[in-house]
Amino acid sequence: MTPGESDRHAQVLASVEAAYSEWGSSLFRFAMRLCGNRDDAEDIVVETFTQAYRKWDSFKGTGTRLNWLYGIAVNRHAMSRRKQRNRPEAISDDAPASATNSLDRIAIEAAIVRLPLSQRQSFVLVKSEGLTSKEAAEILGRPLGTVLYEVHQAVRAIRAQVVGNDFEPQMLSRLVEAEP
């Protein structure tokens, strides 16, 4: 490796480490909601940053670097699902439970995991990660109208699954509030 290549390698490594420090927890939370278990989510995050390191210079600057990383995570998740087609996804005991009533949170997380993959991806990016539908559409490579529809359908499906349960109204309303 030439001195110039070594310097570039060090710069890219420092940039990836900084990105991990800033966005690693957001990407883990996103992967956790896509996968439903900690081990697979950790694998997705590691694979995402490994791919980001390899392709750091291929970022074209359209959108944000974080959205680029979300896109890599979506692709890594899709690839892992193809490899594990026969393995059912189930929410694990590691599911985030930061709400006042953790049983409500677990039930809602379980409802999210049961969503069809396309709805789950759109819903988690928009409702959990706080991205706009336009940003989610760019990350997922889908038309904006499709993402809006998928989020709407996801909200309806989650509501349908939790109706009749005694959920904390404030938590459910925050989960399914109007589109940002």
Q: Which CATH number characterizes residue 172's domain?
A: 1.10.10.10
Query: Closest Cα to residue 51, out of 68, 64, 33?
Result: 68
Are 11 and 86 in the same domain? yes
Q: b/e for 17-55, b at 16 or more Cβ within 10 A? A: eebbeebeebbbbbbbbbbbbeebbebbbebbbeebbee
Question: Helix crossing, 133-140 with 65-83: angle to 10°?
Answer: 50
Do 14 and 89 lie in one domain? The reply is yes
Do residues 136 and 122 touch, judged by C-beta distance below 8 A?
yes
pLDDT at residue 62 above 50?
A: yes
Q: Please indicate, yes or no, whether residues 88 and 106 belong to a single structural domain of this protein.
A: no
- Please say whether the beta carbons of 104 and 167 come within 8 A: yes
Are 151 and 126 in contact by the 8 Å Cβ rule? The answer is: yes
Q: How far is CA 131 from the centre of its chain?
A: 10
Residue 107's domain comprises: 99-180
Average pLDDT over residues 71-95: 68
Both 59 and 112 in one domain: the answer is no
pLDDT one-digit tens code per residue, 89-108: 444 444 444 434 567 777 78
Q: Which position has the higher pLDDT, 118 or 85?
A: 118
Q: How many domains does the chain have?
A: 2
Out of 95, 127, 147, a domain closes at: 95
pLDDT at 88: 43
Q: pLDDT grade, residue 81 (50/70/90)? A: confident
- Same domain, residue pair 72 and 5: yes
Domain boundary among 59, 80, 95: 95
Pair (154, 119) in one structural domain: yes
Supply the pLDDT for residue 107.
79
CA-based end-to-end distance of the chain: 48
Query: 158 and 89: one domain?
Result: no
Supply the mean pLDDT for the chain. 82
Question: Do residues 86 and 110 both lie within one domain?
Answer: no
**The model's pTM:** 0.70
Same domain, 56 and 87: yes
